[in-house]
A and B are shown apart, each in its own frame.
Chain A
Amino acid sequence: MKLLQLFVFSLAAFVAVSCGNPANAEQTTEATNTEKTDTQAEAQTVANTAPGKVSVGDKAPDFNLKNVDGEMYSFENIKDANGEAPKGYIIVFTCNTCPYAVASEQRIIDLHNKYAPMGYPVVAIQPNDPAAQPGDSYEAMKERATEMEYPFLYLFDEGQKVYPIYGATRTPEVYLVDAKQIVRYHGAIDDSVRDAENVEEKFVEKAIEALEKGQEPKPAKTKAVGCSIKTV
C-alpha cells in the first residue's frame, strides 16, 4: 500500500509538472534565457586542464621515429612525392584501432595522394601504447600499412615521447606544419570525422590551399570528437 501511495504521489507530481499551464508558461520564458546563460557560463569557465602545448604559430617539435619499414624519420629526411624537401607536412596522429581513425583512413590516404605530389606529404604518427591497446602494436601497424597499402609514413611513437610534446589528445588529430616547421593549422581533417558522406568543409585541404596562396588558413583551429590517446 505504501508503494501505491508513493506511486500516486509521484504521479500527481508528474501531472503537475507536465500538465500545469503555469509550468508551461515558465518553461517558455526560461527557454528564451537559455542562450544567454550558456554564454555566461562559458565566460566563467576557468582553465583547469592543460591545453595542447603546441599551438598554431608555434614551432613544431622535431621527432625521430621508426616507420613501418624499419627506417627512422624526422623532418630532415622526410621527402614529398617528388623526392624533394616538402613545402609542408600533414602530421596526423592516428592509429589502427579507433573507430574514428578507421572511418578517416581513406581520407588520410586521399590527402597524401592529392597533396604529396604538391609538396605536402602525410606523416602519420601512432601514439597509443600497445600495452594499453594491443591492436596498435608496431607489428599490427605494419600489417595495417601493408594491407591498406599506405602511401605515407606510418611512424610509431614508441615510449609515447612525441604526442605529449605536441599536446595531442586524440586520434585522429592533424597538425599542418609548413616548410619552416611552423604549425599553421591544428585540428580535424574535415567537419565530419565520423562519416565521410556528410563532409561539407575539408579543413586540411582548405588550409593547404591557403598556404599555397600565401594566406593564413581559416579556420586555423578546429575540434572534433576522437578517441583519447591510450596510455597505461
Chain B
Amino acid sequence: MKPILLITVILLSISCNAQPDKQQKDTPTTTLSRTQNATTEANWPSPNKYVEGIPVYESYSDIAPMFALKNDTTYVINFWATWCQPCVKELPHFEQLTEKYKDSKVKVVLVSLDFPKQLESKLVPFVKKHELKSTVVTLLDGKYNDWIDKVSKEWSGAIPATLFYRADQQYFLGHSVESTEELENVLNNYIH
C-alpha cells in the first residue's frame, strides 16, 4: 500500500505546482515531511529554496508574512543559531511545547540565523541529530538593522529571542527561558 500512497502524493504535489508561487528549487527530501504542514498553511511564505528539507528564506521580506498571519493559531517564533549556546540550551523547552501542544493551535517555529555557509555543515546535521520536531526554517538576511525592529521594537538583536503572537496580539521575550512552564506562562497570560 505504502508505495502507492507515496506515488499519489508525488503526483498530487506535481499537479499542484501550477501555482504562480516561487517554485521549490531543490527536491524536498524526507525531512520535509516535518515542515510540510507548515508550507500548506494559508499565507505561509514560500521559501526561496530548501537545504535538505529545511526551508531557506533569503531576505526578511521573503519571511515577513510568517509574522503577520491572521488566524487563530498562536505562533511561537524563536530566533536561534547552532553556534549560540544559550539558544541550543533552551531548545528542549520549545520541543516540549511542540509535543505538548501538537493537537492545539500552537505552532513553534525555530528560525535559524546560522551562517549561510554553514547550513549544510552545521544546521542540517544539528537538526538531524536532535530530531527536532518543531518547524525549523533558516533566514539568511544579514542586514539586521533593516529588519530587527520589524520583528519587535523591543528586540536588541541578542539571541535567543522569541516572539509569541496570535493575529494582533503579541509578546516579545528577549532572553532565554529556563523551563517549558516559562513559555506556557506567556501563552496563558499574554496571548488570549
Residue from A41, A99, A194, A228 with most neighbouring chain B CB atoms (10 Å) = A228
Q: In this assembly, does B7 line the interface, its C-beta being within 8 Å of a C-beta of chain A?
A: no
Residue from B158, B165, B169, B170 with most neighbouring chain A CB atoms (10 Å) = B158
Q: In this assembly, does B28 line the interface, its C-beta being within 8 Å of a C-beta of chain A?
A: no
From B41, B67, B154, contact of A51 by CB (8 A): B154
Q: Which residues of B contact A40 (CB under 8 A)?
A: 168
19 pairs, A vs B, C-beta closer than 8 Å: A15-B16, A26-B42, A30-B43, A34-B64, A37-B168, A48-B172, A99-B83, A169-B158, A191-B143, A191-B144, A194-B142, A198-B143, A223-B157, A225-B79, A225-B157, A225-B159, A227-B158, A228-B86, A230-B85
CB A1 to nearest CB in B, in angstroms, measures 9
Complex CA distance for A195 and B113, rounded to whole angstroms: 13
Given A34-B64, A188-B144, A225-B159, CB of A49 within 8 Å of CB of B154: yes
Measured as residues with beta carbon below 8 angstroms from the partner, the interface class of chain A is: 35 or more
Complex CA distance for A14 and B40, rounded to whole angstroms: 7
Are A48 and B154 interface neighbours, CB within 8 A?
yes
Q: Which residues of B contact A71 (CB under 8 A)?
A: none
Q: In this assembly, does A215 line the interface, its C-beta being within 8 Å of a C-beta of chain B?
A: no
CB A30 to nearest CB in B, in angstroms, measures 5
Complex CA distance for A35 and B12, rounded to whole angstroms: 32
From A26, A51, A223, contact of B145 by CB (8 A): A223
Q: Which residues of A contact B15 (CB under 8 A)?
A: 19
Of residues 119 through 152 on chain A, the ones whose CB sits less than 8 Å from some CB of chain B are 133
Q: Which residues of B contact A31 (CB under 8 A)?
A: 43, 65
Q: In this assembly, does A187 line the interface, its C-beta being within 8 Å of a C-beta of chain B?
A: yes
Residue from B5, B67, B145 with most neighbouring chain A CB atoms (10 Å) = B145
Measured as residues with beta carbon below 8 angstroms from the partner, the interface class of chain B is: 35 or more
CB B118 to nearest CB in A, in angstroms, measures 9
Q: Which residues of B contact A45 (CB under 8 A)?
A: 152-154, 170, 172
Q: Mark A138-176, 1 if CB is under 8 A from B, else 0.
A: 000000000000000000000000000000011000000
Q: In this assembly, does B34 line the interface, its C-beta being within 8 Å of a C-beta of chain A?
A: no
CB A208 to nearest CB in B, in angstroms, measures 18
Q: In this assembly, does B121 line the interface, its C-beta being within 8 Å of a C-beta of chain A?
A: no
Are B174 and A226 interface neighbours, CB within 8 A?
no
CB B41 to nearest CB in A, in angstroms, measures 8
Are B149 and A49 interface neighbours, CB within 8 A?
no
Complex CA distance for A18 and B168, rounded to whole angstroms: 25
Q: In this assembly, does B50 line the interface, its C-beta being within 8 Å of a C-beta of chain A?
A: no
Q: A18-B16, A18-B40, A191-B146 are in contact. List 5 more A-B contacts (CB 8 A).
A: A11-B12, A14-B12, A17-B40, A194-B115, A223-B155
Q: Which residues of A contact B142 (CB under 8 A)?
A: 192-195, 198
Complex CA distance for A197 and B46, rounded to whole angstroms: 28
